[in-house]
Every structure is written in C-alpha cells, then in structure tokens.
Amino acid sequence: MPTSDQTQASAAERQRAEQIVAGLRQLYPDAKCSLDFTTPLELLVATMLSAQCTDERVNQVTKSLFTKYRSAQDYASADPETLEQDVKQTGFYRNKAKHIREAAQMLVERYGGEVPQAMDELIALPGVARKTANVVMGNAYGVVEGVVVDTHVGRLARRLGLTESEDPVRVEQDLMALAPQRDWLDLSHMLIMHGRAICQARKPLCAECSLAPLCPTGQATLQLAAAPAAAKPKRGAK
C-alpha cells in the first residue's frame, strides 16, 4: 500500500504530466508521424530504416523504394545486395536490408503478406522491437498499446523529469503510468517535434521553451544562466 505522501506525489506527477501534454498540444496541434507511408507495410519498412537515421533522409529513400517494392513478397524475394544498395543512404544498410527481407519472408509465410496488428506478432518479426511495433500499430491501425520511445522521447522524458531511466522499455512504462492512454500516441509525436525544434540534444533552447516552468532541467539551466549576472556587484557598491 502506498503512503499518503507517495499517493500525493504520484498524483502531483500525473498532474504535471497533464500540464506538459497540454503545453505540447498548444505548440504542436497537428503533430503526427513524420514518416511518409500509405500502407502498414510501407510504415513498417520506413520505421525499420529510421533507426540511427533522420526521418527526412528515410523519406527521401522510400520515395523510390516504395515504387520498386510494392508487396511483402517483393522484399522477401529481393536480391540481398540490390536491396542493400537501395537502402544504403539510411546507414547500417546491411543489417537493415537483412531484417527487412527476413521480416517480409515471415509476413508472407505466416500472414499472407499482411502486417499484423498485434504487439506479440509484430515484435516476433526480425528487426522489430516495441518502438517499431508501437509506431505501426498506432499510426497504421489506430491501435495504441504503448508509447513510442525513440532517442528524442527518451531524452525529453528525462529532462522533463518524467523518468530517470535510460532503458527505452522502462521509459515507456513510466510515461504510460503518468499519461492517460488517449494521449500516448500524440505524446510521442509532440515530444519528437519538440526535441527537434527546441529541446535539442546538444544544446536545449531553454530560454525559448514555454515548457521551462514545468521542466526541472529547464529551470536549472535558466538559473545557472542567470547566476553570473546576479552575482556581479552593483556599480558603486563597496
């Protein structure tokens, strides 16, 4: 049984998370998946290619890739070296091409070439973990069972004090505990957009961030920036 202090702290954290979500909605009312796709298969492939690669670069690659490969069978029967060259610009292309071929083969063998909607079936595909499964389920099928945790989401969740973990699975669990399920999909999209625009990896723009009053990292950064000026003696002071 939680103590009253623990219950109040948990309620306070959920309330702060609600305020953060509300603030993000004001900033990014049209937030959505930034990968271009028209089918669940295209989204699956694009998400697999997005590992360690920008969505912008992935969209450049898939523009021609999706014209060349239109079905799971196309990927499954693709020449390995040819597919590698087709996805080379996304980086780590040998592993990505291998996983795409193997996942496509499993789709053909088990699901008639269709992408399944269930988490356990998706994560059984080669190269697919919870992040990719959540992206496909939420954006292609409207099935929301978790929060997409990429590098942006993990970084912002820690800076905002929504988690202390570096483990994506634990970060997802912490976010799911703080936000209602109706916000899970949008929350990931909005955090990703905020991570690109304001809360950047190397130097977050805390002075420009409307979420700074709710963010322990932002508060600490702004206080540190203000400290030297406050410490300077006034002119004429003895």
Q: Is residue 131 flagged as an active site residue? A: yes
Question: For the purposes of burial, counting CB atoms within 10 Å of the CB of 163, is it exposed (0-12), middle (13-18) or buried (19 or more)?
Answer: buried
Burial letters 165-185, b for 16+ CB under 10 A, else e: eeebeebbbbbbebbeeebbb
φ, ψ (nearest 5 deg) of residue 199: -90, 65
Q: Is residue 150 flagged as an active site residue? A: yes
Catalytic residue among 150, 174, 183, 186: 150
Cβ contacts of 196 within 8 Å, gap of 6 or more: 152
* Chain position carrying tokens 């109706």: 182
- Measured CA to CA, the distance from residue 172 to residue 111 in angstroms comes to 28
Please name the residue ranges forming H helices in 36-92.
Answer: 40-49, 55-68, 72-76, 80-87
Catalytic residue among 131, 174, 183, 186: 131
The residue among 157, 156, 159, 131 whose CA lies nearest residue 145 is 131
**CA distances in angstroms from 54 to 17, 91, 200, listed in the order given:** 27, 10, 14
Q: Known catalytic residues?
A: 131, 150
